[in-house]
Structure 1
């Protein structure tokens, strides 16, 4: 088995374990990540608007 495939398999198994054992914590984690991505996208948009205005 390829090392990359093994790493992906371990990551998927860990994610499934976390979702099954702590669903609320998993949901909170996903919402936190989405919030960070939203803030980052907003910052890039603000930068571009400031650059071209």
Structure 2
């Protein structure tokens, strides 16, 4: 099973590198979208806890 994880990791890294090289603007947009989603989730969690405290 360990070799399956290693093969999957290599495939994911290879795909990410290929995507980054062939479409850098789209890759940047995808990364920006991920960070925007994380920021939005963090903001929502903070709003929730602020509402609980107040």
Same fold (TM over 0.5): yes
Aligned residues: CA RMSD? 1.0
Q: Which runs of 5+ in 1 are unaligned?
A: none
Unmatched 5+ stretches in structure 2: none
**TM-score, normalisation: structure 2:** 0.92
| Matched pairs, number | 53
Runs of 4+ deviating beyond 2 Å: none
**When the two structures are superposed, what TM-score results if normalisation uses the length of structure 1?**
0.94
